[in-house]
Amino acid sequence: MTVEVLLDPPAHVRLPDEGAEIGDQAHAVNGLAAQPVTVLTYDTSQSMKARGRGLEVQKLAVPPEGDEPKKAPGRTGGGSR
């Protein structure tokens, strides 16, 4: 497995929905990667959106430990696990 961190260009404006933003970025990277990009997520909505974009998805089943992270003010999201 290879993990690379890619930075957004300085003028990048994020989408209001975190799941859509992750899917959008994964789809963009998929065109550059030597191997297919796989999205790992607990979120059902995010997994469906990623599959709809032709990405490979591993839907995780064991819930993470601890509390959900707090939402930043003004951000949307709220997919279900």
Instruction: Map out the domains of the chain as residue ranges.
Output: 36-62
Rounded Cα distance between 69 and 20, Å, is 18
Q: From residue 74, how far is each of 8, 15, 17, 35, 67 by CA, in Å?
A: 21, 12, 10, 35, 20
pTM greater than the 0.75 cutoff: no
Instruction: Quick: pLDDT tens for 14-35.
Output: 999 888 888 899 999 988 888 8
Q: Which residues contact 39 (CB under 8 A, 6 or more apart)?
A: 22, 23, 26, 46, 47, 50, 55, 56, 57, 58
Instruction: Quick: pLDDT tens for 34-67.
Output: 888 899 999 998 999 999 989 999 999 887 777 8
